[in-house]
Amino acid sequence: MIKPANHVQLLRREDQVFLRFHRGGTQTPVKVVWARPISGRGDEVCFVDPAQKKEVLMLESLEALDPASRAIAEEELSRRYLVPRITRVIRATASFGVRYWHVETDLGERRFALKHASKNAVWVSEEHLVLRDTLGCRYEINPFSSLDPRSRAEVERVI
Q: Based on the domain organization, do 100 and 136 belong to the same domain?
A: yes
How many Cβ atoms sit within 10 Å of the Cβ of residue 54?
8
How many Cβ atoms sit within 10 Å of the Cβ of residue 119?
9
92 vs 80: CA distance, rounded Å: 26
Q: Is the pLDDT of residue 39 over 70?
A: no
Peptide bond into 149 cis (omega under 30): no
8 A C-beta contact, residue 31 and residue 12: no
Q: Based on the domain organization, do 75 and 90 belong to the same domain?
A: no
Last residue of a domain, one of 80, 99, 131: 80
Q: Based on the domain organization, do 125 and 65 belong to the same domain?
A: no
Q: How confident is the model at residue 7 (pLDDT cuts 50, 70, 90)?
A: confident
Q: Based on the domain organization, do 70 and 92 belong to the same domain?
A: no
Q: Based on the domain organization, do 42 and 68 belong to the same domain?
A: yes
Q: Based on the domain organization, do 72 and 90 belong to the same domain?
A: no
Query: Which residues, other chains included, contact 60 with Cβ-Cβ below 8 Å and sequence gap of 6+?
Result: 1, 3, 43, 44
51-67 pLDDT, tens digit per residue, is 898 999 999 888 889 99
Last residue of a domain, one of 53, 80, 107: 80
Q: Based on the domain organization, do 90 and 42 belong to the same domain?
A: no
pLDDT for 4 equals: 46
pLDDT for 1 equals: 44
Provide the domain limits for residue 41: 8-80
| Lowest mean pLDDT across 47-51, 80-84, 94-98, 132-136 | 80-84
pLDDT for 38 equals: 61
153 vs 103: CA distance, rounded Å: 13
